[in-house]
Structure 1
């Protein structure tokens, strides 16, 4: 009886195992069949249905997010902000990939990023309610005005580079004109043999003249884009010389002398500003270091006597 009971239990367990194996194999087969059916459906689906799945991540996620940020940014910045941003982009040299819409959307995205960073910093510092709110708002404001600050700094650096390169460019232009070249050919020589933002502006001016603009219009466009006093003075002199028929070589020679004088005056001005600018680090950083070895022993002696 015991042997028959054990044999029955073994047979029952074997039957249950075989049934479970059969069910599992059937379920796996059905799963594989469903996967194959999905793949076949995707392969035979119309192009319009599978086009969204084939688009890259930037087109599916980043571009819609940027479009929403652009709509929000246009409401926040106002209607006249496009011209101001465009002028800043011209002053900064129109960086690659930067446009008015990208700057507006970037302001909103950077504001959101600054808000998140501010919250994280407030949590890490363990600040209370008011300091935490202040840190969060500071991150929001810095993020929102971050692209504007970047464009301003890049425009300022570019203006300084233009102001520094203009005298040498006028000297080269004067030599080219006196050697027999015309003004346009002299500008082309300067653009070809120099590098930097001034050469890029000269190249753009020549292309505008090739597209149909007059020399006066191209020069005035150069002055508006650069927004540098020396460049405006040079453009005004060239426009007047072109209008009144004054020899270009004589005007260029006078402009070269004035630019050299202005450059020397700017260097003298910066040299005279050095004593004033060095006062703050001298008082707060250098003098305390000198007081320690000079006054330290005397203070220690006074403390011992008292």
Structure 2
């Protein structure tokens, strides 16, 4: 059984090498050819299209590893996570079965030791955990990045308001804050400014910013700015009102999170603290009762 598991693991590693070597090289050649014949602005618009990403990257071995829906979900999480280095779609798709084989090897090792039902449960749990670990990691990174953007948005809007009232244009204030600050929101602001400099319209650049981050507060800010431009409303007043609204939302979310704490504490309190408390309180009484019955004092 262990030999079979080792062979499966070796085959999975070979598939990983093929995916990063042969398939990856062929895809790079195709992308390079398309880059020559496709205009730069069209490539910029199509780079974040989920359907196009799925069609371009579901080639070769990746078609056998996941469905189009799963690929689209993984690609979306990668985009929301800011496309971290090393976390490519192909790598995640190939890493999942490889880690699943590692979990299967753990299962075979547990069964070879003569384990029963517990060994089966541990092995199956290890296999599933290893298989879905890349999805969980990239999804968690995407959520953390969204929370960081949501937290930084009111402060950045305050700085934009000060810069606009000092005489800068909205785009210039946006660009300066994106260059001076650090964090995911600053990176997205820099990319948005670059999109507008490359010829993308202001509305399209702002909408792309909202789509890339998928943060509710940022999406509402983008809608307010675009609608304000249509009706000729002052940008400084829009940004100031949005900043105040974002701070109120952040305060409301903090209060809601604080109200959920007692409910979250209740389960570990019941399962961990109450049994120990009952043992500490009742154990001496049961011991005395047992000694009394044993000695026949009753």
Which residue does 2:115 correspond to in 1? 127
Contact 1:119 1:132 in 2 (8 A): no
Q: Which residue of 2 aligns with 1:92?
A: 81
Query: Which residue of the partner structure matches residue 57 of structure 1?
Result: none
For residue 105 of structure 1, report the CA deviation from its aligned partner: 2.0
CA deviations over 1:88-121 (Å, ceiling 9, x no partner): 1111110113222222222232223332233234
Contact 1:73 1:108 in 2 (8 A): no
Of structures 1 and 2, the one with the larger relative CO (CA 8 A, separation 6+) is: 2
What secondary structure sits across from 1:96 in the alignment?
Answer: coil
Contact 2:19 2:90 in 1 (8 A): no
Give the TM-score of the pair, scaled to structure 2: 0.73
Distance 1:210 1:185 in 2: 12
Q: How has the CA–CA distance of structure 1 residues 289 and 140 changed in structure 2, closer, same or farther, with 3 Å as cutoff? A: closer
Match of 1:110 in 2: 99
* 3-state SS of 1:278 partner: helix
Alpha-carbon distance between aligned partners in 2 of 1:243 and 1:121, rounded to the nearest angstrom: 66
Structure 2 counterpart of 1:64: 18
Look up the match of 1:195.
182
**Deviations along 1:41-70, whole A, 9 cap, x unmatched?**
xxxxxxxxxxxxxxxxxxx99642545898
Give the 5 Å matches for 1:277-288. Answer: 277-288=264-275
Q: CA separation in 1, counterparts of 2:124 and 2:282? A: 45
Preserved contact between residue 115 and residue 143 of structure 1 (Cα < 8 Å): no
Asked if 2 retains the 8 angstrom alpha-carbon contact of 1:72 and 1:108, the reply is no
The TM-score with structure 1 as length reference comes to 0.72
Instruction: Output the CA distance in 1 between the equivalents of 2:107 and 2:187.
Output: 40
Mapped to 1, the partners of 2:77 and 2:107 lie a distance apart of 28
Distance across 1 between alignment mates of 2:22 and 2:95: 11
> In angstroms, what is the RMSD of aligned CA positions?
2.6
Shift in alpha-carbon separation, 1:101–1:147, aligned structure 2, 3 A = same
**8 Å contact kept, 1:88–1:151:** yes
Distance 1:300 1:131, change over 3 A: closer
2:206 to 215, 219, 234: 219
Residue 117 to residue 208, structure 1, CA distance change in 2 (3 Å): farther
Gaps of 5+ in 1: 1-59
Structure of larger gyration radius:
1
Corresponding residue number in structure 1 for 2:247: 260
The question of whether the paired residues in 1 share the 8 Å contact of 2:210 and 2:219 is answered with yes
Deviation per residue, 1:268-295 (Å, 9 max, x gap)? 1111111111111222222233334433
Q: Helix, strand or coil for the counterpart of 2:68? A: coil
Structure 2 residue 191 is the aligned partner of structure 1 residue 204: yes
Taking the aligned partners of 1:73 and 1:138, their CA distance within structure 2 comes to: 25
Give the deviation of 1:196 after TM superposition. 1.1
1:52 aligned residue: none
Aligned position for 1:19: none
How far apart, in 2, do the equivalents of 1:131 and 1:178 lie?
67
